[in-house]
Amino acid sequence: MSGQPLRVAAVVLTYNSSDDLPGCLAGLMAQQGVDLRILVVDNASTADDRARMEADFRAALPDGRVLPARNICPEDVAPLPAVFLRNKINAGYSAGNNIGARLAALIACDAVLVVNPDVRISDPEYVRTLAALITSDPATAVACSALRNLSGAQENPMSEPGFAEELSWPFQMLAAAVFRRRKPAAPLPAAPCRVEKVSGACFMIRTDFLQLTGFFEESVFLYCEESILMAQVRAAGWHMMMDPAIEALHAHRNDSKGDPLPRFRTWAKSRGQFHKDYGGYGPVRQSLLAGSRAITLGLIRGRGYLRRQRTSDGGAGIGDGT
The total number of structural domains in the chain stands at 1
Taking only the tens of pLDDT, the chain with its 322 residues reads: 456 789 999 999 999 999 999 999 999 999 999 999 999 999 999 999 999 999 999 999 999 999 999 889 999 999 999 999 999 999 899 999 999 999 999 999 999 999 999 999 999 999 999 999 999 999 999 999 999 999 999 999 999 999 999 999 999 888 877 776 666 667 899 999 999 999 999 999 999 999 999 999 999 999 999 999 999 999 999 999 999 999 999 998 876 566 888 999 999 999 999 999 999 999 999 999 999 999 999 999 887 767 777 666 654 433 333 2
Q: State which residues form the domain around 252.
A: 7-160+186-256
Rounded Cα–Cα distance for residues 177 and 261 (Å):
17
Render the burial of 103-117: b for 16+ CB within 10 Å, e for the rest. Answer: bbbebebbbbbbbbb
Does 110 reside within a domain? yes
Tell me whether residue 301 is in a domain: no
The answer to whether residue 270 is domain-embedded is no
| Distance (Å, whole) CA 167 – CA 144 | 28
Q: What is the pLDDT of residue 257?
A: 61
Q: Is residue 265 part of a domain?
A: no
Give the CATH number for residue 57: 3.90.550.10
* CB of 84 closer than 8 Å to CB of 57: yes
Residue 261 in any domain: the answer is no
The predicted pLDDT at position 315 comes to 46
Note whether residue 99 is domain-resident: yes
Residues 13 and 96 sit within 8 Å (Cβ to Cβ): yes
Encode burial over 249-258: b for 16+ CB neighbours within 10 A, e otherwise: bbbbeeeeee
Answer whether residue 172 is part of any domain: no
In a domain, 142, yes or no: yes
